[in-house]
Amino acid sequence: MNAAICRRLLLTALLSALAIPVAAQVRIIQTNSQGDNIHLIDPATNQIVGEVKGVPINHGAAGAPDGSRLYFTSEAEQTLHVVDGKTLQVTKKIPLSGRPNNISISHDGRRVYVGIVSAPGAVDVIDTTTLEKVKSIPTKGGIHNTYVTPDGKYVVAGSIAGKVMTVIDQKTEEPVWTLFQEGVRPMAFETNADGSTKRIFVQLSDFHGFAVVDFAQRKEVARIELPNDVPPEKVDKGPFNASPSHGIGVAPDGKTLWVTSRPNARVYTYSLPDLKLMPGYVDLGGRPDWVTFTPDSKRLYIATENTDTVVSIDVAARKEITRIKVGKSPKRNITWVARGTS
Amino acid sequence: MARVRFSALGSGFWSLGVGAAALTIAILSVPSGTRAAGPEDELPDGEGKKILVSSCTACHDLTEVTKFRGYYDRKQWRDIVVTMMDYGAPVDEKQVDILADYLATHLGKQ
């Protein structure tokens, strides 16, 4: 073997070793809003492969971008629980300024933004280095959900009580603009080619559909109602927490928008960017709450809170794959890339 | 075909048989419209319960309230009531403390 071949083999071995120091594993993190546990689902097998315990009445979930940690809010203890990404053990509970709802995390993983639903409302800012609350951003009304925009530049907070969506500059952590005079529920984000936010699709209280917000214009440009295509005798009459449409997501490839209906127990698909309703739907068998996609846009997971299940859906075929039994009243879910956990 | 002689099975069998028959009759006697006990049935009657049932279940199941059993003190329950009023729950000012007292007494932190 000559020296050139030896060098090439050595280089190949070195690059291989560097490329696989820790296997990245995609996990669907499913909270259980009436329990104290959270389930980790492997989307490759649709099996539960892990469980976080000790987070009573859990609500929001976020994963550190480097896979090292998970964060969950506990409405019961009014804390942010910090969970080790490998052992899945709670390592710290951070006191919050009030009762929390949903959370989001900055792209660099240094900040967790916690929606505080207790009056008067706030977004608590958690420094993930010191693991302490460093700021409470006052809001008009309690905050139900927070999001970090896909480009990482803004934090968007929705208030049901305050009937407003507040856009906060991520760097200054100060509000920059607001919109709506209706209760603001889940949201999904569409991006421009450069990654900046193009439109936000917003679900609203007592509206069976979603509003379309042009981010640059800072205004609502359309409102789309979901189909009423279920026979009256089969329509679920609720109650739906005044939120007949709860659960919305843009597939990571940006090609489709998926919107759930509680009365119809279905998810509908709209093509992007034209927002045309695609034919058909997927039956969910219960009241949907939240949606999350795998990073490759191949699978969608929808929590149905009154059946204690998560529905796994083939995105391309727009067909149910299976239903996964989880804990009590599953609601928020996220997709997380774990490093070396179960 | 082997025939089972009941006498050979002893008095325990008969006790079991009578018990099963009684249970069957009892089950069949229950009116078909009877519903299963829910979280509402576990809560004692009172003015607070009337407010709770009338104002909360229009929007959500009562389990959304009872899931907090044992976690909150009176101040925290009152905060929940006020937050829900902000959401539109039909609770008037006079009812706030009645409901907060009721929740703290029957679902509060011990």
Question: What is the pTM assigned to this prediction?
Answer: 0.86
Q: Is residue A236 part of a domain?
A: yes
Domains of chain B in start order, with CATH, are 39-107 (1.10.760.10)
Q: Is residue A111 part of a domain?
A: yes
The answer to whether A237 contacts chain B (CB < 8 Å) is: no
The answer to whether the beta carbons of residues A110 and A100 sit under 8 Å apart is: no
Rounded Cα distance between B35 and A307, Å, is 19
Rounded Cα distance between A243 and A257, Å, is 18
Q: Is residue A6 part of a domain?
A: no
AA identity, residue A138: P
When mean pLDDT is compared across A68-82, A144-158, A183-197, B78-92, the lowest value belongs to B78-92
Residue-range definition of the domain harbouring residue A56 = 25-339
How far does the CA of residue A81 sit from the closest CA of chain B (Å)? 16
Chain B residues with beta carbon closer than 8 angstroms to that of A241: 59-60, 64
Q: Which residues face A50 on adjacent strands?
A: A40
User: What is the CATH number for A132?
Assistant: 2.130.10.10
Q: What interface predicted TM-score (ipTM) does this complex get? A: 0.81
Rounded Cα distance between A159 and A163, Å, is 6
Structural domain count of chain A: 1
For A282-322, write each residue's pLDDT tens digit: 999 999 999 999 999 999 999 999 999 999 999 999 999 99
For B36-70, write each residue's pLDDT tens digit: 556 667 789 999 999 999 999 888 999 999 999 99
**CA proximity to A58, closest of A323, A303, A252, A325:** A303
Contact A57 B59 (CB under 8 A): no
Please state the rounded mean pLDDT for residues A103-107: 98
A148 CB-contact burial (10 Å; exposed 0-12 / middle 13-18 / buried 19+): buried
Q: Is residue A186 part of a domain?
A: yes
